Amino acid sequence: MNQAPSPNLADPAPSPHDALQTQDGRASAPLLTVRSAVYSYGSELALQGANLQLAPGEILAVTGPSGSGKSTLMLVAAGVLAPTAGQVIFNGRVISDDSEGERSRLRRTEFGVLFQFGQLVPELTAGENVALPLLLDGAKRQQARAAAGLWLERFGVADLIDVRPPDMSGGQSQRVAAARAMVTEPSVLFADEPTGALDTMSGEAVMREIVRVAREAGTGVMLITHDAKVAAYGDREVLVRDGTTNELSINLRNGDDR
């Protein structure tokens, strides 16, 4: 039972110009690359040389035990945190040296972020929550609301458009939050334990929707989870351990079973 299936190969020393094998074996330039990223919270070193690559439309699971640095890796990759050392490259451009304002704009337009819970503004309706990123980018109210309705529908919660988050279930909130993360049609969706606060069935339903919508929209997903069952929704897995990405799982050699 230890025969490894067809491996997903990546160059052990990733570079933004390297080709990357996606699931269907098609080679493409990576959309997002994190190279030798180091990040410290004060004296605590959360990342000590992490690498990863995400191909366009790929669903990449980033796993590891709690405290391994996987959330920090996501925040660095998403440009929320600027790495202490190392680089983040998006579409061939180094974004880790950008100013906070530029990275904010990038997050607003090219990235979507989804957290475990507590990200919706409780006073806004679901429709307004989803429309918010569009309004931030200068869209008109009617236009933003129409788009919000569309994305709520894609996540199966169109009927919640005028409902406020405190009146929603956990699963509904996550669907609305996912709709908000996707409303700008980002290239990358960053999802940090998106089902962490949900029970098994609603968690499964939310993951099902996220995967389906991301595949339809061709959005790459960086899925942060400690749960192997959630990681199994991905095309590929990167293991984070003690602030470093596991080379073995990035560069998964054929596990020969001698």
Partner 1 sequence: MSSPSLATSLRLAASGGRSDHVRIGITAAGAFMTTLLFFLAASVGLIGPTDGPYRFEVLNQPGLRPGVIISLLLLTVPTLIFVGQCSRFGAPARDRRLARLRMAGARPRDVVRIVALETGLAAFGGSIVAAVAYFVGRRWFATEHIATITTETEIGSRGILLEEVNATVRYAPTDVLFPAWIVVALVAVVPVLATGFSVLALRRVVLSPFGVNRSTPSTPPRLLPVVLFGAGTAALMSFSAVVRLLDLDRRAFPLVALTGFIFFVMIATGLIIGGASIAAATGRFIAPRTDRPSILLAARRLIAAPYTSTRATTSILLAVFIGSAVQAVRASFLAGTDPEDTFYATTFSLLNLVLVAAIVLSCASLAITTTEAVVERRRTLAALKAAGTPRRTLAASLFAETLVPLVPSVVLAASAGLLSARGVFGSRVSSWSDERGEVILVDVPLPVATPALLGVCAIAVSVLATAASLVPLRRSFDHAELRTAA
Partner 2 sequence: MSTGHVLMGLLANADRHGYDLKHEHDARFPASRPLAFGQVYAALERLGKKGFVGATEVENADGPNRTVYRLTDEGRRELDDWLRRTEEPSPFVANPFAVKTTLALLAADRDTAIDFMDRQRATHLERMRELTRRKLDPDSSLSNVLAADFALAHLDADVRWLESALERITHLEQEVQP
Q: Using CA atoms, how far apart are residues 218 and 156, in angstroms rounded to an integer? A: 19
Q: Could you tell me the smallest distance in angstroms from the CB atom of residue 140 to partner 1? A: 6
Residue closer to partner 2 (CB basis): 120 or 223: 223
Instruction: Spell out where 177-254 has E strands.
Output: 188-192, 220-225, 236-241, 244-245
If binding is defined by CB under 8 A, does position 110 make contact with partner 2? Answer: no
Taking each continuous run of H as one helix and of E as one strand, the counts in the chain are 8, 12
- Residue 201 binding partner per list partner 2, partner 1, none, with a CB distance cut-off of 5 to 8 Å that depends on partner kind: none
Cβ-based burial of 38 (10 A; exposed 0-12, middle 13-18, buried ≥19): middle
Phi-psi region of 74 (alpha: psi -120 to 50; beta: other; left: phi over 0): alpha
Residues 192-221 that bind partner 2 (CB under 8 A): 208, 211-212
Among 125, 172, 174, 246, binds partner 2 (CB under 8 A): 246
- Tell me the C-alpha distance between 65 and 163, whole Å: 36
By CB under 8 A, tell whether 249 contacts partner 1: no
Neighbouring C-beta atoms of residue 248, cutoff 10 Å: 11
Q: Are 70 and 63 in contact (CB under 8 A)?
A: yes
Which DSSP category does 13 fall into? S
232 belongs to the binding site for partner 2 (CB under 8 A)? yes
Toward partner 1, which CB reaches closer, 29 or 146? 146
139 forms part of the interface with partner 1 (CB under 8 A): yes
Nearer to partner 1, 123 or 227 (CB): 123
Q: Report the candidate in 170, 147, 169, 143 with the shortest Cα–Cα distance to residue 158.
A: 147
The one segment of 19-27, 137-145, 146-154, 212-220 that binds partner 1 by CB under 8 A: 137-145
Q: Figure out which of the listed residues 181, 210, 213, 240 binds partner 1, where binding follows CB under 8 A.
A: 181
Name the binder of 81 from partner 2, partner 1, none, CB < 5-8 A by kind: partner 1
How far is 105 from 151, CA to CA, in rounded Å? 21
Residues in contact with partner 2 by CB under 8 A are: 1-5, 65, 208, 211-212, 227-229, 231-235, 237, 239, 246, 248-249, 252-253, 255
Residues in contact with partner 1 by CB under 8 A are: 41, 71-72, 75, 78, 80-81, 101, 104-109, 111-113, 115-125, 128, 132-133, 135-136, 139-141, 164, 180-181, 192, 197
